[in-house]
A and B are shown apart, each in its own frame.
Chain A
């Protein structure tokens, strides 16, 4: 299992724990990740409104860089916003020759070419398609039994490109949560929107979305995410959401590879669990106990 790895800007700073835990888990599963040298921002949700062509071009630049290595590997993308941008640059030039020739002209400025031969894949796609949950179970040295975890998929790993899961009622995280020994918390909010970058530009409406999600998470030990934007919105605005709801909505929020890594015996430090903005004391204590008690053979 070899992949190009596109971290995206968030994973270098505010979501550093997502980057570190993804790399650690993929390594433990025997996958090799190769960085795309000189990768640049995908444009996030900001470039498209400023210039639709720029948004394609920024994403295509990264595909062209990976392609120039002539290895033919899929590109692993952990961030859902990066994923959707890179995916559209993979798919749309195929059916839009004008766009394709524009992108070729832009990339030529840096001596790059775009054939469009590489597949862009979200981390969750790679887990659910290439990696059998049994591989987690087989590598498991710890048991998360007794924990109820709520899978949260968000939007852009599911929509508009419905590739590896049901875009309305996703289930792909469930076998992986069960493979750690934990139970899946059943709720209807897994594919609902967290507000994404609207939390900065239209905070009132985004906070309403976050409040609705957190409200339904009552009774779970943690929400599990696969996107740095979802993670930040769900973990960083709990106080404001609680005020809005007139009740305590605080809840732990973890990245999926952090959960898998814990079960697979990776250390607290290796998964950067100290970096999460919302890890409740009770769960933190439980997870530390789990981390110290290896499963007996």
Chain B
């Protein structure tokens, strides 16, 4: 099972140099810098970690991973914190969690993702009537260019990935 110690193991040789913070394009929008976040991980301050927005702000640019003088997989560590936040249903991460889960549900159903379907799933999961309004300018732009395909994905009728997903779950649960 993945837990906070998995992340701790990934960053255990962190020497707190701050190269990650200096490299992070999203650091200005974070309440705690990446360097401080790794310190929290190392000292086991789990509650503090989930109170920050830091891991949620990571946009997977991999610059910290590239530059870390210790060669630590920092982007992956950020993603694992997202995984743990989803598993623990951390309130501050619920909106992102629903976005990712809606996307994955669309893959499970059809093997491929249609933007229209997964966004509908996301809106339904969020139960916020104002949320679709935020996305409507983009939706209108895409609609005008005939780029929103309202049909389901084109993958020829081989069914969903149900068995495949169940197998992944089974292995995750036993390892």
Interface residues, chain A, with chain B CB atoms under 8 Å away = 9, 12-14, 16, 38-41, 43-54, 57-58, 61, 98, 102, 105-106, 109-110, 155-156, 159-160, 162, 167-168, 192-193, 195-198, 200-206, 208-209, 236-237, 239, 274-275, 277
Contacts of A200 in B (CB 8 A): 99, 135
Interface residues, chain B, with chain A CB atoms under 8 Å away = 2, 25-26, 28-29, 56-57, 59-63, 65-66, 75, 79-80, 82-83, 86, 95-97, 99-101, 103-104, 107, 111-115, 134-135, 137-138, 141-142, 145-149, 153-156, 158, 161, 163-165, 167-169, 171-172, 175
Cβ B172 vs Cβ A53 within 8 A: yes
Contacts of B25 in A (CB 8 A): 192-193, 209
A44 to B148, CA, bound (A): 19
Contacts of B61 in A (CB 8 A): 155-156, 159, 193, 196
User: How far is the CB of A211 from the nearest CB of chain B, in Å?
Assistant: 12
Q: Which of A14, A39, A40, A43 contacts B147 (CB 8 A)?
A: A14
Cβ A50 vs Cβ B104 within 8 A: yes
Cβ A41 vs Cβ B66 within 8 A: no
User: How far is the CB of B120 from the nearest CB of chain A, in Å?
Assistant: 14
Contacts of A51 in B (CB 8 A): 83, 104, 168-169, 172
Contacts of B145 in A (CB 8 A): 274-275, 277
Contacts of A105 in B (CB 8 A): 167, 171
Interface of B is mostly: helix
Which of A110, A168, A205, A277: most chain B CB closer than 10 A? A205
29 inter-chain pairs at a CB distance below 8 angstroms, sorted by A residue, are A9-B112, A13-B149, A38-B111, A40-B112, A40-B155, A41-B107, A43-B107, A50-B104, A52-B79, A52-B83, A57-B168, A98-B175, A102-B171, A105-B171, A106-B168, A109-B167, A110-B164, A156-B61, A160-B65, A160-B75, A162-B66, A196-B59, A200-B99, A202-B29, A202-B56, A202-B57, A205-B26, A206-B59, A208-B29
Cβ A160 vs Cβ B62 within 8 A: yes
Cβ A12 vs Cβ B154 within 8 A: yes
Contacts of B154 in A (CB 8 A): 12
